[in-house]
Amino acid sequence: MIPSRAKRVFKGKIFDVYQWRQKMFDGSYETFEFVQRPDTVIVLATVKNKLVILKQKQPNTNWYYSSPAGRMDVPGETPKQAALRELLEETGMRPEKIIHWKTIKHRGKIRQNVYFYIAKNCKKVTGQKLDPGEKIEVKLMGFDSFLNLVQSSINRHWLAEMLVDIYQAKLYPKYKKTLRNLIFK
Amino acid sequence: MIPSRAKRVFKGKIFDVYQWRQKMFDGSYETFEFVQRPDTVIVLATVKNKLVILKQKQPNTNWYYSSPAGRMDVPGETPKQAALRELLEETGMRPEKIIHWKTIKHRGKIRQNVYFYIAKNCKKVTGQKLDPGEKIEVKLMGFDSFLNLVQSSINRHWLAEMLVDIYQAKLYPKYKKTLRNLIFK
């Protein structure tokens, strides 16, 4: 619930800061603030019965695991186009079929949409096209190994937006089957 | 891994923005950016075998559940002092004993420390002292009901930092016992 009169007070490389004057319960006013970060796409990509997982490093990080993913920074691009572009750039792969899985709309003090796609039956069609700030190795991983990544704290940052799905799959065999079918069928 | 030469380029009410010049893998340079938000304390408070849960509303939100919690915005205050202050302001309660449970250090593009405390055997010693931007009702909830809150998506925002603990407790009886003892013993 952010009023339309919220004004951008800072424009950064990634983060924009907005403020507005908010009436309090006692009739007084305070300056409220939120940060907008660019919308992001995350791609669960499959090759046969395996998931495409990236081993990745950026100039200010150690190696970490992730899915193909990226910021939507091309003007006019749809989330689906961004998902296909990031997958192609980071892995050189194109899917037979791509479906929208879910969208998480962060609505707190840090605002961002995260779009999830499932890219099925990917095939390598070209080489990687990496940014100067990326080192990426492409790995394939089975579904159970993927779910078990959540047991390791170093992977939880990447899995954050899927944590609930993964734990629900581990708790409830029925949901595990649903999720497996969604990704691989 | 943020270099000490990172400079604050914006100071907001809540969020400060920092930038630095980062060398890329190909020798080129780009501007990197992160946001600093104030450190926060979260208090799991108990009364006998129940947890103290707040039903809360702010001027720009609907009613939601949370634990006693707040930003560390008093200069010179330690995390423990902040935990005791927030608990007293939001519930009017003081604990018999307070212990540090864990600290989560967010180290990505949004930087923040979140300090968790367990405040045991709380007693009401005074009335609430709320900010003009808070409406708070104090509730008591059993441990299993607390763990089951994670099944409802509207509570996951609040539980975010405890999601892993709660799911591990639901998956593994041994960890559930450890967590229950930590909170209530």
Which residue carries 């009364």 as its tokens?
B47
**A1 near B CB under 8 A:** yes
The interface pTM score, or ipTM, of the predicted complex is 0.88
Q: Are residues A108 and A25 part of one domain?
A: no
Please name the residue of chain A whose CA is at the shortest distance from the CA of residue B30.
Answer: A133
Rounded to whole angstroms, the Cα distance separating A150 from A169 reads 11
Instruction: Tell me how close the Cα of B33 comes to any Cα of chain A, in angstroms.
Output: 7
Q: Are residues A115 and A56 part of one domain?
A: yes
Q: Residue A45: which residues within 8 A CB-CB, separation 6 or more?
A: A51, A52, A67, A68, A87, A91, A93, A95, A118, A119, A122
Phi and psi (nearest 5°) for A6?
A: -55, 135
Bridge partner list, B140: B52
Q: Are residues B106 and B20 part of one domain?
A: no
Decide if A42 contacts A67 (C-beta within 8 A).
Answer: yes
Q: Are residues A26 and A87 part of one domain?
A: no
Q: In chain B, which residues have pLDDT < 70?
A: 1
CB-CB neighbors (< 8 A) of B131 in chain A = 24
Q: Are residues B31 and B112 part of one domain?
A: no
Stronger pLDDT, B4 or A44, i.e. the higher one: A44
User: pLDDT band for position A40 (50/70/90)?
Assistant: very high
Q: Are residues B127 and B44 part of one domain?
A: yes
Rounded to whole angstroms, the Cα distance separating A179 from A7 reads 41
According to the model, what pLDDT value does residue A108 have? 83
Instruction: Tell me how close the Cα of A171 comes to any Cα of chain B, in angstroms.
Output: 6
According to the model, what pLDDT value does residue B40 have? 97
Give residue A76's Cα distance to chain centre.
Answer: 19
Phi and psi (nearest 5°) for B79?
A: -55, -40
The beta-carbon neighbor of B132 closest among A13, A24, A31 is: A24
Mean pLDDT of A40-53: 97
A-contacting residues of B 25-64, CB under 8 Å?
Answer: 25-26, 28, 30-33, 35, 37, 59-61
Instruction: Tell me how close the Cα of A158 comes to any Cα of chain B, in angstroms.
Output: 11
According to the model, what pLDDT value does residue B5 have? 87
Rounded to whole angstroms, the Cα distance separating A41 from A109 reads 20
Instruction: Tell me how close the Cα of A85 comes to any Cα of chain B, in angstroms.
Output: 22
Residue B26 belongs to what domain range?
A: 7-36
User: pLDDT band for position A8 (50/70/90)?
Assistant: very high
Which of B2, B5, B10, B172 to substitute to test the interface with A, most A CBs within 10 Å?
A: B10
Asked if pLDDT for residue A47 goes beyond 90, the answer is yes
Q: Are residues A45 and A30 part of one domain?
A: no
**B164 near A CB under 8 A:** yes
Q: Are residues B137 and B88 part of one domain?
A: yes
Q: Hey, are the CB atoms on A35 and B35 less than 8 Å from each other?
A: yes
Mean pLDDT of A137-157: 91
Q: Are residues B136 and B45 part of one domain?
A: yes
Q: Residue A104: which residues within 8 A CB-CB, separation 6 or more?
A: A113, A114, A116, A161
Residue type, A18: Y
Decide if B36 contacts B14 (C-beta within 8 A).
Answer: no
Please name the residue of chain B whose CA is at the shortest distance from the CA of residue A16.
Answer: B17
According to the model, what pLDDT value does residue A104 have? 93
Counting the structural domains of chain B, the total is 2
pLDDT in tens, A100-131: 999 999 888 999 999 999 999 999 999 999 99
Q: Are residues B55 and B32 part of one domain?
A: no
According to the model, what pLDDT value does residue A1 have? 65
